[in-house]
């Protein structure tokens, strides 16, 4: 074949795709329980939305966006993240004029031109959740809890939560200046890129992973010491609420996030076994984003999860992990001979309508081939119909686990199987 997927595109095929589905569903379930509503938003937006929203000094905007001119000469960018587009959509549809907060979730592909490696792709998948329209610290704790509980429901254990506050438009500039002063004094012998960063976006220097830089940062001022009274009260309230919800977290005074819109609460979920790309989710407040993109003052908070990394996290904690129970095929129909296909299809269609997951052997592969397919399907029962069964109006059920066989009247077949298998909720 002459084609391959473009470099860095993450794809999922069976059977591994079942894990991906499981990861996405776990977050959707957690969001629904907290009464977040589903949204589907634009995969591409006007480039200016991300430049103004995500921020001109962020890595995402300066070098990672998939931007192009469309045939009408418009500047377009494939979404590198969801938040700016979700907020744009909420404002465009006036949801913020109804009951607040607007609580929504969405999921799908995002695009960043990064250097591909394990856990880092150019097309990757996020689950994203946003609560727009309140400063209440309880909603900060709620969003974190929705994420926390979803990781837990997937059986993950080796993840941790890091929490920080980045202050607001009153106290952050004061801190920014103090940090800049410190960095200018200590980092003159560093590379051009870091010197430029000190001037443009000094908080990002705190994110530098190089040991030599980290050592020098040990004495750098931290935001916690510069929070204004309102931000401090907000941060303390979020921390107290997390304690009340029994969500363990680590204070991370040097946690800064890669996108420029963050204010106050910021957080990250890290996984212990994923190496360099350990961030399995992250988020925070963006109280100024609405105004940045031309909307009214409207605070908001949310987070996004990298679903690709959740799949890797599940596999690292449970090597060989496969589909969750409750998704595989339960019954596999086997036509014995050419002319019983219709009988088998009728039977499995009745089963499906009753909520049983059923498949059958298609084509002409003979009994041996069909039984092999039945075994491969992972089904609990094979339902065989041949000339003999048809003339007696029965179905031969074979338990694929212990090999026992049962002749069941055709009219009772669905009920017989459902009694033994249960149905999907
Ligand atoms: P982010 O930290 O840029 O935040 O991305 C969230 C998550 O997406 C990361 O923790 C990571 O798991 C995953 N991720 C990011 N880039 C890649 C990549 N190249 N390959 C695979 N996974 C990746 C945001 O996107 C914010 N919009 C989150 C947010 C929502 N803040 C407020 N609301």
Q: For a pocket test of ligand 1, which of 64, 81, 88, 257 has the largest count of ligand atoms closer than 8 A to its C-beta?
A: 81
Which ligand 1 atom is the nearest neighbour of the CA of 268?
Answer: 10
- Please name which of 175, 190, 271 lies closest in space to residue 226, comparing C-alpha atoms: 175
Strands (E) in 272-413, as ranges, are: 279-285, 300-306, 331-335, 358-360, 381-385, 394-399, 405-409
Q: For a pocket test of ligand 1, which of 8, 264, 274, 304 has the largest count of ligand atoms closer than 8 A to its C-beta?
A: 304
For the Cβ of 53 lying below 6 angstroms from any atom of ligand 1, the answer is: no
Which ligand 1 atom is the nearest neighbour of the CA of 280?
Answer: 12
Q: Which residue puts its alpha carbon closest to atom 18 of ligand 1?
A: 120
Residues in the chain: 425
Query: Residues 74, 64: contact at Cβ < 8 Å?
Result: no
Distance (angstroms) between ligand 1 centre and the Cα of 125 equals 9
pLDDT score recorded for residue 425: 45
Distance (angstroms) between ligand 1 centre and the Cα of 384 equals 49
pLDDT score recorded for residue 366: 85
For the Cβ of 121 lying below 6 angstroms from any atom of ligand 1, the answer is: yes
Distance (angstroms) between ligand 1 centre and the Cα of 188 equals 31
Q: For a pocket test of ligand 1, which of 55, 128, 255, 279 has the largest count of ligand atoms closer than 8 A to its C-beta?
A: 279
Distance (angstroms) between ligand 1 centre and the Cα of 281 equals 6
Q: Which residue puts its alpha carbon closest to atom 21 of ligand 1?
A: 120
Which ligand 1 atom is the nearest neighbour of the CA of 309?
Answer: 12
Q: Which residue puts its alpha carbon closest to atom 25 of ligand 1?
A: 81
Which ligand 1 atom is the nearest neighbour of the CA of 279?
Answer: 10
For the Cβ of 267 lying below 6 angstroms from any atom of ligand 1, the answer is: no
For the Cβ of 8 lying below 6 angstroms from any atom of ligand 1, the answer is: no
Return d(Cα 203, Cα 352) in angstroms, integer: 56
Concatenating the DSSP letter of every residue in 13-31 gives -TTTHHHHHHHHHHHHHHH
> Is 311 exposed, middle or buried, given 0-12, 13-18 or 19+ CB atoms closer than 10 A?
buried
Return d(Cα 355, Cα 43) in angstroms, integer: 34
Q: Which residue puts its alpha carbon closest to atom 11 of ligand 1?
A: 306
Query: Residues 408, 416: contact at Cβ < 8 Å?
Result: yes
For the Cβ of 126 lying below 6 angstroms from any atom of ligand 1, the answer is: yes
What residues contact residue 387 under an 8 Å CB cut-off, 6+ apart? 336, 337, 340
pLDDT score recorded for residue 325: 64
Q: For a pocket test of ligand 1, which of 12, 118, 126, 132 has the largest count of ligand atoms closer than 8 A to its C-beta?
A: 126
> Is 74 exposed, middle or buried, given 0-12, 13-18 or 19+ CB atoms closer than 10 A?
exposed
- Within 10 angstroms of residue 253's Cβ, the number of other Cβ atoms is 16
Distance (angstroms) between ligand 1 centre and the Cα of 183 equals 27
Q: Which residue puts its alpha carbon closest to atom 10 of ligand 1?
A: 281
For the Cβ of 303 lying below 6 angstroms from any atom of ligand 1, the answer is: yes
pLDDT score recorded for residue 189: 67
Q: pLDDT under 70 in the chain at which residues?
A: 188-189, 323-325, 423-425
For the Cβ of 81 lying below 6 angstroms from any atom of ligand 1, the answer is: yes
For the Cβ of 130 lying below 6 angstroms from any atom of ligand 1, the answer is: yes
Tell me, what DSSP letter sits at residue 6? Answer: P
Q: Which residue puts its alpha carbon closest to atom 30 of ligand 1?
A: 303
pLDDT score recorded for residue 424: 58
> Is 391 exposed, middle or buried, given 0-12, 13-18 or 19+ CB atoms closer than 10 A?
exposed
Distance (angstroms) between ligand 1 centre and the Cα of 37 equals 20
Token pair, residue 330, equals 């339960």
pLDDT score recorded for residue 218: 86
Return d(Cα 327, Cα 312) in angstroms, integer: 20
Residue listed under structure tokens 């997937």:
154
pLDDT score recorded for residue 211: 84
For the Cβ of 83 lying below 6 angstroms from any atom of ligand 1, the answer is: yes
């Amino acid at each position: 074949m002459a084609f391959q997927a473009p470099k860095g595109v993450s794809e999922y095929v069976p059977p591994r795709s079942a894990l991906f589905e499981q990861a996405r569903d776990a977050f959707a379930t957690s969001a629904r329980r907290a009464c977040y509503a589903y949204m589907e938003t634009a995969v591409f937006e006007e480039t200016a939305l991300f430049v103004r929203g995500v921020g001109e000094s962020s890595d995402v905007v300066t070098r990672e966006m998939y931007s192009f001119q469309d045939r009408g000469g418009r500047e377009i960018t494939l979404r590198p993240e969801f938040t700016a587009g979700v907020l744009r959509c909420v404002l465009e549809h006036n949801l913020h004029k109804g009951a607040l907060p607007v609580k929504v979730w969405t999921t799908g592909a995002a695009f960043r031109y990064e250097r591909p490696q394990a856990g880092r792709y150019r097309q990757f998948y996020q689950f994203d959740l946003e609560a727009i329209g309140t400063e209440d610290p309880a909603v900060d704790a709620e969003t974190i809890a929705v994420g926390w509980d979803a990781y837990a429901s997937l059986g993950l254990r080796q993840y941790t939560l890091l929490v920080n506050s980045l202050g607001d438009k009153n106290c952050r500039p004061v801190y920014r200046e103090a940090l800049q002063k410190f960095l200018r004094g200590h980092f003159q012998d560093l590379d051009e890129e870091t010197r430029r960063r000190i001037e443009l976006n000094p908080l990002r220097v705190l994110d530098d992973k190089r040991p030599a830089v980290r050592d020098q940062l040990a004495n750098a001022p931290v935001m916690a010491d510069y929070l204004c009274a309102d931000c401090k009260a907000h941060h303390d309230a979020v921390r107290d609420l997390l304690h009340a919800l029994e969500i363990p977290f680590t204070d991370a005074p040097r946690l800064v996030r890669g996108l420029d819109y963050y204010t106050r609460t910021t957080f990250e979920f890290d996984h212990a076994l994923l190496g360099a790309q350990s961030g399995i989710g992250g988020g925070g407040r963006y109280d100024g984003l609405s105004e940045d993109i031309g909307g009214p003052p409207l605070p908001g908070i949310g987070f996004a999860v990298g679903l690709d990394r959740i799949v890797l996290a599940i596999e690292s904690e449970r090597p060989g992990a496969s589909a969750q129970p409750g998704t595989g095929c339960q019954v596999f129909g086997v036509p014995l001979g050419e002319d019983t296909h219709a009988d088998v299809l009728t039977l499995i269609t009745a089963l499906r309508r009753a909520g049983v997951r059923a498949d059958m052997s298609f084509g002409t592969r003979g009994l041996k081939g069909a039984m092999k397919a039945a075994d491969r399907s992972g089904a609990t029962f094979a339902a065989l119909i041949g000339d003999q069964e048809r003339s007696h109006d029965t179905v031969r059920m074979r338990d694929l686990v212990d090999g026992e066989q049962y002749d069941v009247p055709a009219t009772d077949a669905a009920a017989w199987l459902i009694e033994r298998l249960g149905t999907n909720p």
